[in-house]
Amino acid sequence: GQQLNQSPQSMFIQEGEDVSMNCTSSSIFNTWLWYKQDPGEGPVLLIALYKAGELTSNGRLTAQFGITRKDSFLNISASIPSDVGIYFCAGPTGGGNKLTFGTGTQLKVEL
Amino acid sequence: DADVTQTPRNRITKTGKRIMLECSQTKGHDRMYWYRQDPGLGLRLIYYSFDVKDINKGEISDGYSVSRQAQAKFSLSLESAIPNQTALYFCATSLGLEAFFGQGTRLTVV
């Protein structure tokens, strides 16, 4: 089946630093979704990308398609402690009828 | 109240037992999903349903079954639980692609 690989698998950063993570697919996606999972909770949608070539922002978060559209990037500026969690990318598979999720990037923020 | 509610939140069961995880939603969405989360593997789709009469297998359906009792209810059953089904299980709903998740059920099979 479709595989979405995220890197890094985990990262440990200082508060205030900028963060960048990416997600790669074996095929082209026309839509990318980025979710965040807080400890003990279900994933929550952060950003939805529907148009290649455009940056999409949500507060300190920015996401975009990669050049090949087989990848996507999520950036977090000026990280704060509440950014801690697992970040998942997701893309449409099965003819666009369902979501396949990436393996996740775990973010830990040091005060 | 949560839009997507899962019960129970935690469950410990013995190998070979039948167990049902329940999900209900108040979002009015037709599409419902069951995912399994394991460390390092992300979220993997078990089953999904686009309406009451529609049930589809996901990538890891073996050992699981589902029932869509109503638009708002979608339950997941493990007919004979085994230890490697120990995981965090999530129900989700959507209108289109953007899925909304419940808080999860942590299942331990001993």
Choosing among B6, B41, B43, which should be mutated to test the A contact, i.e. which has the most A CBs within 10 A?
A: B43
Q: What is the mean pLDDT of residues B80-108?
A: 96
The percent of residues above 90 in pLDDT, for chain A, comes to 69
Residue A55: is its pLDDT beyond 90?
Answer: no
pLDDT at position B1 is 62
pLDDT at res. B30: 94
Residue A94 has pLDDT above 90, yes or no: no
**Interchain pair B43, A92: CB under 8 A:** no
Question: pLDDT by residue (tens digit) across B20-61?
Answer: 999 999 999 999 999 999 988 889 999 999 999 999 999 999
- Per the CB < 8 A criterion, the answer to whether A63 and A22 are in contact is no
Please report which helix (H) or strand (E) contains residue A99, including its range.
strand A98-101
